[in-house]
Structure 1
Amino acid sequence: MAAEAAKLQAAEAAAAAGVPVPGADVAEGVEGAEAAEGAEGSEGTDEAAVADGPEAAAPEGQDAAESAPDESAESADSSEPPAPSEAAAESAGEDEGDEPEEAVEAEPVAAPAPAAVPAERPVRERAEREPVRLARAPVVYDPAAVEAVRAVLAEGGAPAELAEPAVAALGERAAQALREDPWQVLALAGVRVEHADGFARALLGGECGPDDERRVRALVVWLLERAAEQGHTALESSVLRTALEKQSVSGAEEGLSAAIAEGRVLVFQDAEDVPGAKPAATDEGDEGPPVRLLLGLDRYALAEESLADGLDRLLKTFEGDDLDWESAAAATSSPSAAALVRAAAVSGLVTHTGGEAARAEPAALVAAARELGLRAYAAAYTAEGRRRLAAHLGEDTAVTVAGLLSGQEGPGREADGSLALDVLAVLDAPQLDVELSATLVEAVPDGARLVLSGDPGVLWSAGPGRAFADLLAAKTCPQVASRTPDPGPIGELVSGIGIGELTAVEAPGKEVVIVPVRDPREAVHRTVQLVADSVPRVIGVPATETQVITPGLGGAVGTQVLNAALKERLNPGPGRFGGFDPGDRVVYAPEPGLTLPGTVLSADPEGLNLDCAGTPVLVPRDQVAALRHGWAMTAQQSAGLRWPAVVVVLPGDAVQALTRAWVYTAFGRGERHLSVVQGADQGLAQAVAGIPAKDRTTRLRSVLREQAREQAAE
């Protein structure tokens, strides 16, 4: 679908800022620990500077001038809908076309050859298991339809490369559709309003203007699609009206009314928690509760309503059983796990919240249910999350959400199409967007138990909606909040961030280290030094198990620049195979928010061979362009994943992009060690204390509460 393609491209092209870290008491750096241990720097390297600690000067020859963040891929005019979510903000500038600024000079330390395949041997090493193939089925379009669209595009001065996407989005009559309504080109990914206006003028001449009904209709849909990329499932009518006016539409109110009348968008009245909203007039002339008028695309409106109906169905069809749930609860290892077992015993729908340590509790529920003879499974959002679950439950019981729905993992389907299970615990629930949530809930059979579990402090899904947060806020089912704290200094730090407090923690084993920096170049240099030398030597975690997390893809300290610098230091090479060499760390994102990390093993005529945590994966030649280097990634990409050590980079130009959820997510990815390259000063503490998350406009909470009111009135 065009919207899905747009989401994929949006996750790779937009503008990003940088981000910061704990600024209060600065713990002694890893470098300081090395100095205390008598570590000697090699002559001609930067080890001496690192050992000197935070006050060390930038390496000789480096420009200390701070670089400005790169601009958004979209024009930064005021016609945009609400500010982008973290997911959108982090997908900055990947396809901008600007070359990243020069990476810091690598130190003359030999990089270890990849253990699996020597860098000089591009010959494919056959794995014992057949590799997973990431190939997508090729789509074949009617050549005549494509050629007809290509002719219309040429007439309007548009790139011929848009022909196949136009047929995919508009159908085989796309050429006629574009000739009659040129602004439909806005349905294609990457097309901006000024492009569409120029295309329309070329085809229509003087017949078109800013108030052309066709233009206004297309703009309304385009603005709502862009809002969905930023996480919203709907927008207030006033927001849309303002955005239309900033696109030179003089009759914005009439344009919205026309779009509603034609069914292009749906209109809703939302009466839930609307600060400053005007009371609604009732039929009796009295004033009802405050309402706001929301407009949304039917795709997301139907997903939210389908999800609400599915959740309500699970509550209504649950009948319970005579199994000894109390004994099962008593046999669990923690009070929180016991509370979760007891809650699931009496309800078909339960929510469970907690941090990383609390993941053991839904696993304990599933194990208890299986002991009672039920078909119980636990599903994680990522493959790495599944591996952590499997440590508690075994490979057959732990699945991924995608694998469960596709039938490649788990119990399969009943004759009626529902999942063949009695109990399903879904971890990482905040990472499920509203459409995936609706699909998952629809697949759970009547009478089954569904437990949705997750950490409410992490970043919301990369796709539209905030399904888990809305369900928690609606309070329409039993809720269990874990009392199991995450252990160690990292757990203590992250727990404080979750309640808006950034405090210094005792870290006698250098579990948490703050490395102050003055400018982006120093931030890059310090990051490379930590990953390649300091963390392996002092903490004992190799570079292959250390992950760098930074706010955005573009910018002076984005993933592009950091990955270039880390590759030069850790695995230098010419990038012979589509920009990659054996030993390169990479990430593959089949969809926004779902990240598959791996290491390049080799290349052959079929494509690139990866090792993804022990699973062989083949990336076909035509899919290699979807890979990115993976030594550094954004916090949104890292959600649901964990590493032994993490280096979070927070440049000074990222302060405005910081939220508590971003910091909480990034800091919580490290198991044993967290280094923070801190250039944000007090901006970090201010964000943690005052900006919980970038808001999203959704309807699910209102729909759930309305359902509850109607049932109470019956």
Structure 2
Amino acid sequence: MSEPESTPHSGPDTPEPGPGAGPWDTGTATTESDERDDAAEHDGAAPAADSDTGVGSDAETGADTGADTDAGADADAPAGADPADGAGAAGLSEAEAELAAQRIERERIERRKAAKKGPIDSGRKLSGKAAALLAAVRAVESGKTPPADLFAEPRTAPRQTASESARRPGSVSVEAAPAPMAPMPAVPAPEVVQRVRRVLSEGGAPETLAPRVAAALGEGAEERLRADPWQLLRVQGVRPEQADGFARALLGAECGPGDERRGRAFTVWLLEQAALAGHTALDAPALTAALAQRAVPDPDAALQSTLAEGEALAFQDAPAAGEEGERPVRVLVGLERYALAEESLADGLARLLNSAPKEGGSSEDWERAAASAQGSAAELLRAVAGHSLVLHTGGEASRTEPARLLDEARRLGLRAWAATHSPLGRDGFAELLRQSQEADGTSAPPVATVAGLLSGAEGPGRDDDGSLALDLLVVLDAPQLDVETAALLVESLPDGARLVLAGDPGVLWSVGPGRVFADLLAARVCPRIASRVPDPGPLGELVSGIGIGELNEVAAPDREVVIVPVRDAGEAVHRTVQLVVDSVPRAIGVPAERTTVITPGHGGAAGTRALNAALKARLHPGPGRFGGFDPGDRIVYSPAPGRTLPGHVVKGDAEGLHLSCSGTPVVVPREWVETRVRHGWALTAHQAVGCRWPAVVVVLPGDATRALSRPWVYTAFSRASRHLSVVHGAEQALPRAVAEVPAKPRTTRLPDLLRAQTQAAEERTAG
């Protein structure tokens, strides 16, 4: 990793082209999953624009690292695969099942929103008030407060409690839930792709982009591109300068930086880049500043046009009660999908908070269960007995408390389930439940992954009304819930259900937009139980110190923690391979297949690509006949952005690459192998969230120091259960990151939405 792959003036998807490189020569292919993974790897700090814009810039956040930032390079299709020839027609199994379930659930949410007679408290789309909004933006920029009635809307009617509310319409029936092996939608028709190829060729863009352009723009893609060449920015990985070049080639003298179409496309693109960095919305002044950095002559007009066309929505971030005059009103701008998700999530949480939890045993039964527990476990039981929404915080050892809750709830007759972020986390929690169940002889562990629960591939299934067939859901790894997943989950709960969100607040936040768990903790709208069960041993002591900003030396008599100093990236790779292949198996007794390497990014001389290549050469050499993979290779499969499933290669044939992911067979069509599958001996910290291994080797090369933060170090170090080796070339940057670099802020609307719901409830109570 001799040179970072991004520069202080490049966004996460804007690599510096090499000498003599053309505008479309961007190097190795990078997927949307890569971009989300790397953005989240830096605590949501990846920029939404160039570094001087103030919108989460590299200069501000320190995202200029060896992370995999060569986005846009997948303009070139995988070698030997032409997606126009039926690529993607085969199934992606679990991935497509999940996506289909999400589509169905979103349609249900949209129908439910449309059926409401009143708008959301927190503000609505202002396409009919574009001029007034522009005046408000300028007022905010000048330090003034916009007119109080600019965003005024009537309040929604109060939600009924569970006892008096009717069952929600439009729910997904259990029969309608997609099968685990649901096929992937077919690619666009060959004639559509061919017409798009011609347009791309005329504009100097790679013709291999055609299938993705046709899929992104749908029917009439050719006409849409000719009418608005900047629509090319809707294709993941295409950069603004590439879209500008394409537009110049197609429009000639008609093309100019002030083109209204260009302003709208750049505004939407900036909001999409912000979402990759974890934001669900952006401050309007920051967004207009970012547009100015992209050479948009009149950023205010561009924003006004985007709002008027309904391609983005604007919202008011009003002061809370008693804050009037203490801080200015902010104008936030966001994409509709995230606005809908946050509003649906806030509405669903309000439904839970206003609902009486379903009875499962008497209050005396719950008290007896709590009395038999100790400390914070008893507090958790008492909180869940009387509340529909409870938050639980703690490290790995604290999982014994949700496990105890689950056992007691099932004894009291509740349909209780747990859900984890990853299959490895699911298997680990299931083993914890089995240990307690062996003593009392209860049924098999009721635990699933969040994705499997929503798709119907795992869990209790859905009842006749489309709600999850459960009374209590404990969600572990709650910090990994992005706003869309959280909205789907809450909307899927039946009336009267209890929801417990449990997790370690010190780990990296979700790859997708939002910071749901942190926002709920800060909102103080429900009981919060902090576990007092410490993680044991030297590893627990080390990680606990990192959580409060201290990197302490710990006594490790059994080599639980080992520091391996290195001088450069080449030595870091050499020592890492030595540790995995020889030292850890010999000295610690953990075999290589149960040891995982964690490094700050995918690219560079000590990124996941380089480390995986070196580890494969030593642990499982082979010709890589199947897209670089051989049977037996350790892999990670990414069925969707932000999701990583560890596994191994079974075989490859004409059907595709056959994988086994935590015992589940998966077939990845050959056309998708390059963008969905990586070797899995070395991961990024975000890929490793929700998983633990007996031994972990964390690689900290010297030129990746700007990627380090307290959440990153906390996450990486806490993935080890028995042994941690740190290949250390970061010198003083490591303790400095732990002490001084907290999680980067994310702009979200959920706190304001929750505050509005709370104020409305207080007003109803007072009335």
Task: Give the TM interval when normalised to the shorter protein.
Answer: 0.7 to 0.9
Q: Post-superposition shift, 1:160?
A: 2.2
Corresponding residue for residue 219 of structure 1: 266
Aligned equivalents of 1:628, 1:19: Cα separation in 2 = 17
SS at match of 1:183: helix
One-letter amino acid of the counterpart of residue 378, structure 2? A
Aligned pairs for 1:618-657 (under 5 A) are: 618-625=667-674, 626-657=676-707
Aligned equivalents of 2:245, 2:650: Cα separation in 1 = 47
* Residues 1:698 and 2:748 are matched in the alignment: yes
One-letter amino acid of the counterpart of residue 430, structure 2? A
Aligned equivalents of 2:32, 2:39: Cα separation in 1 = 16
Aligned equivalents of 2:289, 2:485: Cα separation in 1 = 31
Q: Residues 135 and 532 of structure 1: is their aligned pair in 2 closer, same or farther, counting only changes over 3 Å? A: farther
Cα distance per residue 1:336-388 (max 9 Å; x no partner)? 22111110111111111111011121121111110001111111111111111
SS at match of 2:391: strand
Cα distance per residue 1:655-706 (max 9 Å; x no partner)? 2111100000000000100000111111111111111112211111121112
Corresponding residue for residue 241 of structure 1: 288
Corresponding residue for residue 663 of structure 1: 713
Aligned pairs for 1:282-361 (under 5 A) are: 287=325, 289-319=327-357, 321=359, 323=362, 324-332=365-373, 334-361=374-401
SS at match of 1:351: strand
* Residues 1:383 and 2:423 are matched in the alignment: yes
Aligned equivalents of 1:157, 1:200: Cα separation in 2 = 10
Q: Post-superposition shift, 1:511?
A: 0.2
Q: Post-superposition shift, 1:141?
A: 2.2
Cα distance per residue 1:197-225 (max 9 Å; x no partner)? 11111222111210111110111001000
Aligned pairs for 1:162-201 (under 5 A) are: 162-201=209-248
Cα distance per residue 1:289-331 (max 9 Å; x no partner)? 4322211111111111110110110111224535211112223
Q: Of residues 178, 194, 208 in structure 2, which corresponds to 1:161?
A: 208
Structure 1 contact 14–74 (Cα < 8 Å) conserved: no
Cα distance per residue 1:87-136 (max 9 Å; x no partner)? 997861467879xxxxxxxxxxxxxxxxxxxxxxxxxxxxxxxxx98785
Aligned equivalents of 1:420, 1:490: Cα separation in 2 = 39
Structure 2 contact 73–237 (Cα < 8 Å) conserved: no
CA RMSD of aligned residues (A): 3.0
Aligned equivalents of 2:235, 2:597: Cα separation in 1 = 33
One-letter amino acid of the counterpart of residue 200, structure 1? A
Corresponding residue for residue 365 of structure 1: 405
Aligned equivalents of 2:460, 2:555: Cα separation in 1 = 46
Structure 2 contact 357–498 (Cα < 8 Å) conserved: no
Aligned equivalents of 1:74, 1:139: Cα separation in 2 = 32
Q: Post-superposition shift, 1:515?
A: 0.9
Aligned pairs for 1:451-462 (under 5 A) are: 451-462=500-511
Corresponding residue for residue 685 of structure 1: 735
One-letter amino acid of the counterpart of residue 56, structure 2? P
Q: Which moved more, 1:578-587 or 1:209-218?
A: 578-587
Structure 2 contact 48–271 (Cα < 8 Å) conserved: no
Aligned equivalents of 1:541, 1:299: Cα separation in 2 = 45
Higher RCO (CA 8 Å, separation ≥ 6 residues) = 1
Q: Residues 11 and 578 of structure 1: is their aligned pair in 2 closer, same or farther, counting only changes over 3 Å? A: same
Corresponding residue for residue 114 of structure 2: none
Gaps (5+ residues) in structure 1?
Answer: 21-71, 99-131, 274-278, 281-285
One-letter amino acid of the counterpart of residue 228, structure 1? A
Cα distance per residue 1:602-639 (max 9 Å; x no partner)? 33443333343444444443443221111101001000
Aligned pairs, number = 615
Corresponding residue for residue 81 of structure 1: 55
Structure 2 contact 63–706 (Cα < 8 Å) conserved: no
Aligned pairs for 1:541-690 (under 5 A) are: 541-625=590-674, 626-690=676-740
* Residues 1:209 and 2:244 are matched in the alignment: no
One-letter amino acid of the counterpart of residue 342, structure 1? R
One-letter amino acid of the counterpart of residue 367, structure 2? E
Gaps (5+ residues) in structure 2?
Answer: 1-12, 15-28, 75-178, 435-443
One-letter amino acid of the counterpart of residue 686, structure 1? R
Q: Residues 684 and 271 of structure 1: is their aligned pair in 2 closer, same or farther, counting only changes over 3 Å? A: farther
Q: Which moved more, 1:86-95 or 1:142-151?
A: 86-95
* Residues 1:502 and 2:478 are matched in the alignment: no
Structure 2 contact 40–511 (Cα < 8 Å) conserved: no
TM-score in terms of structure 1 length: 0.81
SS at match of 1:318: coil
One-letter amino acid of the counterpart of residue 198, structure 2? A
Corresponding residue for residue 121 of structure 2: none
Q: Of residues 532, 544, 551 in structure 2, which corresponds to 1:483?
A: 532
SS at match of 1:590: coil
Q: Residues 409 and 633 of structure 1: is their aligned pair in 2 closer, same or farther, counting only changes over 3 Å? A: same
Aligned equivalents of 2:371, 2:677: Cα separation in 1 = 48
Corresponding residue for residue 12 of structure 1: 34
Q: Post-superposition shift, 1:183?
A: 0.9
Q: Which moved more, 1:572-581 or 1:438-447?
A: 572-581
One-letter amino acid of the counterpart of residue 419, structure 1? L
Q: Which moved more, 1:455-464 or 1:77-86?
A: 77-86
Structure 1 contact 142–172 (Cα < 8 Å) conserved: no
Q: Post-superposition shift, 1:496?
A: 0.7
Corresponding residue for residue 518 of structure 1: 567
Q: Post-superposition shift, 1:569?
A: 1.5
Aligned equivalents of 1:90, 1:392: Cα separation in 2 = 37
Aligned equivalents of 1:669, 1:311: Cα separation in 2 = 31
Structure 1 contact 380–386 (Cα < 8 Å) conserved: yes
Structure 2 contact 40–508 (Cα < 8 Å) conserved: no
Structure 2 contact 694–723 (Cα < 8 Å) conserved: yes
Cα distance per residue 1:502-531 (max 9 Å; x no partner)? 111111000011111111111111111111
SS at match of 1:263: coil
Structure 2 contact 72–238 (Cα < 8 Å) conserved: no
Q: Residues 603 and 630 of structure 1: is their aligned pair in 2 closer, same or farther, counting only changes over 3 Å? A: same
Q: Of residues 522, 538, 542 in structure 1, which corresponds to 2:587?
A: 538
Q: Post-superposition shift, 1:182?
A: 1.2
Aligned equivalents of 1:239, 1:73: Cα separation in 2 = 12
Corresponding residue for residue 447 of structure 2: 398
Q: Post-superposition shift, 1:267?
A: 1.2
Aligned equivalents of 2:535, 2:689: Cα separation in 1 = 17
| Matched-pair identity in % | 60
One-letter amino acid of the counterpart of residue 351, structure 1? L
TM-score in terms of structure 2 length: 0.76
Aligned equivalents of 1:470, 1:403: Cα separation in 2 = 25
Structure 1 contact 337–364 (Cα < 8 Å) conserved: yes
One-letter amino acid of the counterpart of residue 325, structure 1? W
Aligned equivalents of 1:266, 1:505: Cα separation in 2 = 51
Aligned equivalents of 1:400, 1:343: Cα separation in 2 = 24
Aligned equivalents of 2:567, 2:326: Cα separation in 1 = 55
One-letter amino acid of the counterpart of residue 330, structure 1? A
One-letter amino acid of the counterpart of residue 207, structure 1? E
